[in-house]
Structure 1
Amino acid sequence: MASGRATERQWTFLTNHARVLVQIARDPGIRVRDIATCCLLTERAVQRIITDLERTGYLSHERRGRTNHYSVTAAKQLRHPADAGPTVAELLATLVHRPAAGRQPTDGRRRQAPTAPESSGP
């Protein structure tokens, strides 16, 4: 007989669509390749999700040189009837509280390391 652990279903609290949207909200200039890496998805899956989000009005993009710059439609309501009420902005306010570990923004800015508070000395 197989152990209980081997037959456990794997599940997560967030959908892949939510994960992709969070990565884009954190960094609107992020590359599909980087989203795929962060979300543990294939680039093709990320492209399909971005297409879904754009087609339903949750996301748009504009071309800037060789890259896309994404815009999240923050005022849009969540899709599922059980989630009725909150907006995308309210969801993202909870999920986008910090940048992904080890990532730099793609707009050319560098994050500055936090500085230690100055002591007043003896």
Structure 2
Amino acid sequence: MSVHAGQWHFLTNHARVLFAIARDPAARLRDIAEVCRITERTAQSIVTDLEQAGYMRREREGRRTRYILCLDGTLRHPAEADVPVRELLEVFTSHDSPG
């Protein structure tokens, strides 16, 4: 039995993928999956979910895809429906920038 079996986590894979994209909007799905420790297929599914929910959109840059986050939306759960996505991302990505 895995050491992690039965444990729970604060963040969902959807949140992890959103944070990974916020940190590197030009990341490949393979890189996003690796950072989030999920399969590439799961990463693709989550990116599609996030896009359909209006949290991001994709743009092609040559052969690559760039992700553009839509930061003015709010979180989906009724308890956090007034919290802008921008604020959540600032909390989890602010340590990434120098200063």
Higher helix content, 1 or 2: 2
5+ long unaligned stretches in structure 2: none
Tell me what 1:92 maps to. Answer: 89
Compute the TM-score of the two structures, normalised by the length of structure 2.
0.89
Amino acid at match of 1:48: S
Q: Percent identity among equivalent residues?
A: 51
CA RMSD after TM alignment: 1.5
Per the TM alignment, residue 8 of structure 1 is displaced from its structure 2 partner at its CA by 6.3
The alignment partner of 2:94 has SS state of: coil
Residue from 43, 47, 69 that aligns with 2:40: 43
5+ long unaligned stretches in structure 1: 1-5, 100-122
Tell me what 1:55 maps to. Answer: 52
Compute the TM-score of the two structures, normalised by the length of structure 1.
0.73
Give distance in 2, aligned partners of 1:8 and 1:67: 37
Give distance in 2, aligned partners of 1:75 and 1:16: 21
Give distance in 2, aligned partners of 1:29 and 1:7: 31
Give distance in 1, aligned partners of 2:92 and 2:4: 30
Per the TM alignment, residue 43 of structure 1 is displaced from its structure 2 partner at its CA by 0.2
Per the TM alignment, residue 98 of structure 1 is displaced from its structure 2 partner at its CA by 3.5
